[in-house]
A and B are shown apart, each in its own frame.
Chain A
Amino acid sequence: MDALFALLVAAGVNFVMGVPGADDIMLGYQSTSFHDALAMRDLFGRRPAPEFEAWLARAGLIDKAGRIRPGAVPVQLRALLPA
């Protein structure tokens, strides 16, 4: 799965599925995860789509270099979750 994913990214694919932990529990499929997408972006120096990147920055999920933000859950996200 990782090898195929890397091949596709190297070939310029610009959309991949993201499911938590690569486990699509509704369909019982193994898929690609949010973590996989982040790792491929790091590996190939790719950035999110511009409007998505802007949203990620607004939500406090990425730093200025476009990397997923280290540390705790952003305040904006925590505010949406149950106490």
Chain B
Amino acid sequence: MTDAPPERAPPDRPPSDALWDGLRRLTAARIGLARTGASLTTGPLLDLRLAHSRARDAVHEPLDEARLAAGLAGLSDPVLAVASAAGSRSEYLMRPDLGRRLAADAEATSASHAGRYDVVFVIADGLSARAVQAHARPVLDRVIEALRAKGWRIAPLVVVRHGRVAIGDAIANALGADCVAILIGERPGLSAADSMGAYLTYKPHAGTTDADRNCISNIRPEGLPYADAAFKIAAMLSAMRAGRVSGVRLKDDTVRLLDGGV
């Protein structure tokens, strides 16, 4: 550090630099960030803090069950609303085990609609309620239409507050469904606080583990668009039923839809 200090240059590259604008159109990554010395300038630093705060807010945001259930009406009625064993958002975040278990009255709610179904769709807040509020309906529209056309018997939809993935297992058993597909809000990243995941399981039971599930991730218009996600979910469920298996022994051989339509 005996060299003369570097001349105080103005912050490099204003963010509007044409070179970086072209590259930014190709990626959502935070590229070409202006720096001063070795560190970020104030603008990009505040952008990052804002993104981090948005992610935290998304995790804590409560699910609006009434609005979600109303938005899902008409697909496979009735829409049942249940809760996990977690009593509050903070308890849900601190106790993952409670998010996998149904509340005391939830089993009865499901059992009163028990029947013989090929699949039940469960919609849970997970770590981003806004993800399912925004994306569950457009995906389910397409999946349910595709499966009904093949004669599938679809159980009533189930909305879960404070739910984690495995809670779908108990719901499938209570309703009498062979497959469970749970749509759930994913842990928010810094660039996407509204990403939805779909976990598919064939004949879940008490010993079911994550190795028995298939996951389709990053469902949102800027990630895996609705039509592609719906195509994959319907194709995987069909393969699951045909092969009587789910999880690591079932591979996703669906070709990506070329239209990328939303």
Contact = CB atoms under 8 A, between A and B. Distances in A.
B75 interface: no
Contact of B190 (A22, A39, A64, A67): A22
Contact of A28 (B7, B13, B37, B187): B187
A10 B12 CA distance: 29
Contacts of B189: 23-25, 27-30
- What's the dominant secondary structure at chain B's contact region? loop
By CB atoms of chain B within 10 A, which of A25, A28, A30 has the most?
Answer: A28
Contacts of A63: 6
Interface string A52-83: 00000000000111011011110000100110
B13 A72 contact: yes
Contacts of A22: 30, 48, 190
Interface in B11-40: 12-13, 19, 22-23, 27-31, 33, 35, 37-40
Contacts of A45: 1
B190 A30 contact: yes
A23 B195 contact: no
Given A20-B30, A24-B189, A82-B22, A68 B48 contact: no
Interface residues of B, number: 34
B191 interface: yes
A23 B29 CA distance: 7
Contacts of B188: 28
B38 A67 contact: yes
Contact of B38 (A23, A41, A71, A81): A41
A38 interface: yes
B48 A28 contact: no
B52 A30 contact: yes
Nearest to B28: A25
B169 interface: no
B38 A28 contact: no
A71 B3 CA distance: 18
Given A63-B6, A64-B3, A67-B38, A35 B28 contact: no
Given A35-B40, A70-B9, A72-B13, A23 B190 contact: yes
Contact of B30 (A23, A42, A65, A71): A23
B33 A35 contact: yes
A20 B38 contact: no
A42 B38 CA distance: 8
Nearest to B3: A65
B19 A78 contact: yes
B6 A81 contact: no
A69 to B, nearest CB: 9
A70 B7 contact: yes
A81 B23 contact: yes
Contacts of A81: 19, 23
B44 interface: yes
Contacts of B33: 20-21, 35
Nearest 4 pairs between A and B by C-beta? A21-B30, A28-B189, A38-B38, A70-B9
Given A30-B190, A72-B13, 5 more contacts: A23-B30, A25-B28, A35-B35, A42-B37, A63-B6
